[in-house]
Structure 1
Amino acid sequence: MTKALSFLKEIDFSKQDLMDLIDLSIKFKELKKKRIAHKYLDGLNIALIFEKSSTRTRSAFTVAGQDLGMNVTYLGAGEIQLGKKESVIDTAKVLGSMFDGIEYRGFKQEDVEALAEHSGVPVWNGLTDTWHPTQMIADFMTLKEHFGSLEGLSIAYIGDGRNNMANSLLVTSAILGVNVTIIAPKTLQPEEEIIALAHAHNTGATLTITDDVNAVSGVDMLYTDVWVSMGEEVDFKERIDFLLPYQINSDLIAKTGNDKVIVMHCLPAFHDLNTETGQEIYDQYGLAELEITDEVFQKHSATIFQEAENRMHSIKAIMYQSLKNI
């Protein structure tokens, strides 16, 4: 691993660093499945800061921390003064004096960077508006489990290409040498700065940015995410109309020409009417499915929920690698 004990964004790490984390995640998964205790960080204390709500990230950090023997304290948006009555820097110094590690899930990448700089303890990025690095270890862990290796794989992300998931998939694929295509309308494609970072850290991957849905041809995996990110203020109807041609459905699957293609989604997914939000969207816009159809979701649900479970194993590996020498 690099000297950086925090896990803030993918470009802080080399290909070997990330591969080591993926392999360690798989080892921790084996221990969990065999119910072999691994309280390697017994007695340490970590804080989980959540400015954005969460199911998988909060659950993964909590269970992973407890499995490793740590005491876990949750700090929700309404429970601390981060950036409101107390600056991020002051909060970092306070929490760093009490905890051995800090997770942050929120909005600004600058905030998680400031926590890492001023707390004096490892900080883990549970998601910001720019990057979602812990998701990447789980995603590429899932790909390695499914295909046996990452070598020679080609993946495609389709939908809103400017969000944190598209950014992280593009850059992480480049670092790992996995061919990646980002398919999105031209106005929703990754920013030039993100594309430049991907090229700067590329270890041999083919990187493609396009608005052509036919670019899914030959890929091994299709990936999508919600069309409106948490906290994003947009005209929802306009966004839906814009991205409906980029929905993962049976026609898009057929365009891959690969009967072994898999589908992944970081969740939550709007694929049916079994949520209040899903029902509201249907009532207002008449759409029962958004970024992925229920047919495709159900067919590939085993992989999608394997990916979700892997959040816990990969986060365990990330925290252990940061704290093992304390």
Structure 2
Amino acid sequence: MRHFLTLKDFTKEEILEIIDIGLKIKKELKAGIYNKELEMQTLAMIFEKSSTRTRVSFETGMFQLGGHALFLSSRDIHLGRGEPVKDTARVISSMCDMVMIRTYEHSMIEEFASYSKVPVINGLTDTYHPVQLLADYMTMIEFGVAENAIVAYVGDGNNMTNSWLMLAAKLGFELRIATPKGYEVDSKVLRDALDIAKESGAIIRVMNDPKEAVRGATIVTTDTWASMGQEDEKEQRIKDFKGFMVDGLTMCLAQKDAKFLHCLPAYRGQEVSEELLEDNADIVFAEAENRLHAQKGLMVWLDRQR
């Protein structure tokens, strides 16, 4: 049995296999063929952090695979209201076939997985957002920009940055990360990624100049400057991130046919301009849809490991 907590735990071959399964299931769905590989199975979805894309994609995905998804917010269960994580894990995993958790502390999901009898999926923590990167790379494959990719990430050194670090290190492509001073990537995650990169051949560079990161890139990506739980920092972050908005002038520094990605939700006029987002709506919203297909591939892959 395997859990999906961070891309660090997976080989290049396993990551690509998960995405391949998702692409196959997506092709079947578009042809009107419904893969029912998880028929009569139940996915428990624990949300301590709310989300549009995570809930809709997992709930719809489980339904399309023939199973059923249970939405469990912090108001619906005893987790966080006195019951230890390990007890909740033992109970839910004795009744359900798989668990997805979207929460704050990464240590919480690690503890839950250590007591769970079924696969646990990280739907997002403050440290990693690996399911999003499955969708991002699936989109890169579909749009023909995965091979020889040079990815520039511009913005906060957050869970998306950490996940891009792990994906690049595992798959062996070039990643440039530009953050404002004081918002750099997690030093431990960076060290881990650099160690993995020694074997994969990945090129990883971190800097504070967004123009340097974007120059010659084939993919430019960003994320919100103030994540959930950082709302009280929003005004200060807007000041600190001055010059980090990705717009048409920024994209002119990238390669001619470079693509723009955004995990959404997007705050137009902050991390991305309205015009740039709308000009790249085809790939950005294909990326959002691919959360559904990549996660279906993930759930099927995890089920096959048992």
TM-score, normalised on structure 2?
A: 0.96
Give the aligned partner of residue 43 of structure 2: 46
Instruction: Report what 1:145 is aligned to.
Output: 142
Deviations 1:210-230 (A, max 9, x none): 011222111001101000010
Q: Distance in 1 between matches of 2:174 and 2:19?
A: 18
Distance 1:199 1:193 in 2: 10
The Cα offsets for residues 175-213 of structure 1, whole Å up to 9 and x where unpaired, read as 111100001113111021011111122211110100112
Aligned with residue 135 of structure 1, among 132, 137, 142: 132
- Is the CA contact (8 Å cut-off) linking 2:61 and 2:292 kept in structure 1? yes
Offset, 1:6: 1.1
Q: Please point out which of 273, 288, 291 is paired with 1:308.
A: 288
Are 1:244 and 1:291, in contact at CA under 8 Å, matched by a contact in 2?
no
Q: Secondary structure at the match of 2:252?
A: helix
CA displacement 1:264-305 (0-9 Å, x = unmatched): 00000011xxxxxxxxxxxxxxxxx11100000000011000
Tell me the equivalent position of 1:94: 91
Cα deviation for residue 313 of structure 1 reads 0.3
Q: Does 1:173 align with 2:168?
A: yes
Residue 186 of structure 2 is aligned to residue 159 of structure 1: no
Alpha-carbon separation, structure 2, partners of 1:324 and 1:205: 29
> 1:134-283, aligned counterparts within 5 Å?
134-147=131-144, 150-161=146-157, 163-202=158-197, 203-215=200-212, 216-232=214-230, 234-256=232-254, 258-271=255-268
Gaps of 5+ in 2: none
Mapped to 2, the partners of 1:45 and 1:123 lie a distance apart of 13
2-structure distance, mates of 1:223, 1:318: 23
Q: Aligned partners of 2:235, 2:22: CA distance in 1, in Å?
A: 40
Structure 1 unmatched runs, 5+: 272-288
Q: Take 1:48 and 1:72, find their aligned partners in 2: how far apart are those partners?
A: 7
- Aligned partner of 2:302 in structure 1 is 322
8 Å contact 2:2–2:305 — kept in the other structure?
Answer: no
Contact residue 219 and residue 259 of structure 2 kept, 8 A? yes
Identity over aligned residues, as a percent? 36
CA distance in 1, matches of 2:134, 2:107: 22
Q: Deviations over 1:235-279 (max 9, x none)?
A: 3222101112010011111122x22111100000011xxxxxxxx
Question: What is the aligned partner in structure 2 of residue 75 from structure 1?
Answer: 72
Using the size of structure 1 for normalisation, the TM-score is 0.90
SS at match of 1:186: coil
2:61, 2:295 within 8 Å by CA — same for their partners in 1? Answer: yes
- Alpha-carbon offset, residue 233 of structure 1: 5.4
Root-mean-square deviation (CA), in Å? 1.2
Residue pair 2:5, 2:110 contacting (<8 A) in 1 also:
yes
